[in-house]
Structure 1
Amino acid sequence: MKKVFLSLIFLGIIFFGFAQQDQKICLLVRADDMGSFHAANVGCIQSYHEGIVRSIELMPVCSWFPEAVKILKENPGCDVGIHLTLTSEWSNVKWRPLTHCPSLVDQDGYFFPMVWKNENFPPCSSISESDWKLEEIEQELRAQIYLAMVHVPNISHYSIHMGFDGLDPKIGELVDKLAKEYGLEVNTEGLQYFVGWGKDIPIEQRIEQFCENLEKLLPGKYLFVEHPAEDTKEMETVGHPGYQNVGKDRGEVTRVFTSEKVKQVFQKKGIKLISYSDLKE
């Protein structure tokens, strides 16, 4: 009888712990596209050191990957994900695959700009318009995973650049298979998307809108994804048809992520910042 009583107490403590967790507001703030530009590398790590970012996504195919690796090695406490990439969207800078995959590239050997057909781009500018081969996608994704994990051993997860895994169920199944094989799976069940400011909010009003939306959060687990960078001369050259003010846009993301006003709302509401590593644990 005594053992039964003690077991009930133990189960009660566990249940109380879970109940307490359910009453918390947990927010995973993810910074995408580290490695794409020097300005992105600076913005991502600044948002981690001085702001609310806890997970950073690394792009192995990009020009500034070596610098990103150096920065991340200097910050071993930062949660890192592999940002798998099969597109090269910007007009003035292009990325190539790590492997020979002719069905995934244009006539110059660069990744196509888009995943799906886009009216802002000429015909045949997307993966969806190509005769893509699943085996080529697999070999390329394996190469990206390998390169990232060799240089940043503490990688915990993966993410998808521009959502190419939704192009076809076979691609989604392939990505799931690779995640299991390389130990990059994360249980995101119950993780809800948080709308920080929405598409129609002027850049200058983002901090205010972000704070207002944080105030409305109810207990639960949330994910917010954005692309911090510095607004520099380098970023003035970055853009594509339909999206030209990239430097200003992403510079404002960094401002939001490092805002003292935003951090005060976190403290006031008791919002807990989490990472993908936390979800794995």
Structure 2
Amino acid sequence: MDRRQFCLRTVGVLAAMPLGAGSGLAQRRQAGDSIKLIVRADDIGSCHAANVACMRSFRDGTARSVEVQVCCPWFYEAAQMLRAEPGYDVGVHLTLTSEWANYKWGPITQAPSLVDAAGHFFATNRDFLAAKWDVHEVEKELRAQIELARKHIPQVTHLSSHMGTPTITPQLRTLAQKLAAEYKLPIETPGAQGFRWPADNNATAEQREAALVKALEELKPGLWILVEHPGLDTDEMRAIGHEGYWNVAAHRDGVTRSFTSEKVKAIIEKRSIQLVSYGDTWPRG
């Protein structure tokens, strides 16, 4: 799967799941008729604009869980911001790829089998799979990412997979599950069913907001997870992109506007949708 296919597949995923553990929030609907929603903001740490947008999506909006990329250049600013907001639930967004054309990162360990000739992670899953990667180097790198996140961010509750790479083969999936069990941090959302937020990368901010309101109006009882990538329409983010996806700033700014939208918050209130986090739903063992 290349980067464009991955982005198109994952934009606005609402994954339906069986009800998990209760969040302790006030029950505003009868048992068995409740709607619980995790709004997840991905890629904090990737750049300054993403950091600001992900924090805004929590402080002024609906996000309750955020995924941090430990190996990215803006990780330490993200960690500082997250320590100041201990109520913001954090996942370690395990990263083995560096997808952008003009902006790169690499491992935080010595891992020669995981990098290209310039020392960066491979850009695509296809390139990663074609390389002769060493599973021991993968394990060392993922452990280092988990441990650095936990060192600097007290509220880490779970793991997730950037671009799906850390779980893309049965061997890697087994490794990720082993690390999840060892660190007592659930990974992803096992058994989830997908439900798309019906707005693609080229939708305007207004179209994206309207599509999310409509999706929330139709949401059925159960536990749901909405995954997207907040950003801002800034010079920094306008310079980020890759083939097939150069409107990153406009797209992700629209995500932030939807996550903080008064219309979105109003429909959540009207329908008594409970905003919950990973930590609420799958407490650490």
The match for 1:158 is 159
Q: Please tell me whether residue 87 in structure 1 is matched to residue 89 in structure 2.
A: no
Identity %: 47
Superposition CA RMSD, Å: 1.7
Which whole-Å CA distance do the structure 2 matches of 1:172 and 1:190 have between them? Answer: 14
Task: Verify the 8 A CA contact 1:59 1:83 in the aligned structure 2.
Answer: yes
Deviation at 1:223, TM superposition (A): 0.8
Q: What's the secondary structure of 2:37's corresponding residue?
A: strand
The match for 2:6 is none
Deviation at 1:194, TM superposition (A): 3.7
2:120 to 110, 115, 129: 110
Deviation at 1:132, TM superposition (A): 1.2
The match for 1:149 is 150
Task: Verify the 8 A CA contact 2:198 2:211 in the aligned structure 1.
Answer: yes
Deviations 1:161-183 (A, max 9, x none): 00013421010000000011111
Larger Rg: 1
The match for 1:215 is 217
Which whole-Å CA distance do the structure 1 matches of 2:276 and 2:114 have between them? Answer: 35
Which whole-Å CA distance do the structure 2 matches of 1:190 and 1:274 have between them? Answer: 18
Task: Verify the 8 A CA contact 2:68 2:92 in the aligned structure 1.
Answer: yes
Shift of the 274–66 alpha-carbon distance from structure 1 to 2, 3 Å rule, reads same
Deviation at 1:154, TM superposition (A): 1.9
Alignment of 1:108-187 (within 5 A): 108-116=118-126, 126-185=127-186
The match for 1:121 is none
Which whole-Å CA distance do the structure 1 matches of 2:203 and 2:73 have between them? Answer: 31
Please tell me the residue identity of whatever aligns with 1:170. Answer: Q
The match for 2:13 is none
TM-score by length of structure 1 reads: 0.87
User: Alignment length, in residue pairs?
Assistant: 255
Deviation at 1:190, TM superposition (A): 6.0
Which whole-Å CA distance do the structure 1 matches of 2:249 and 2:117 have between them? Answer: 29
2:275 to 264, 273, 276: 273
Shift of the 221–201 alpha-carbon distance from structure 1 to 2, 3 Å rule, reads farther
Q: Which stretches in structure 1 are left out of the alignment for 5+ residues?
A: 1-16, 117-125
Q: Please tell me whether residue 99 in structure 1 is matched to residue 129 in structure 2.
A: no
2:74 to 45, 64, 73: 64
More helix per residue? 1
The match for 2:65 is 55
Task: Verify the 8 A CA contact 2:40 2:228 in the aligned structure 1.
Answer: yes
Q: Please tell me whether residue 33 in structure 1 is matched to residue 25 in structure 2.
A: no
Structure 1 range deviating more: 223-232 or 182-191? 182-191
Q: Which stretches in structure 2 are left out of the alignment for 5+ residues?
A: 1-26
Structure 1 range deviating more: 182-191 or 92-101? 182-191
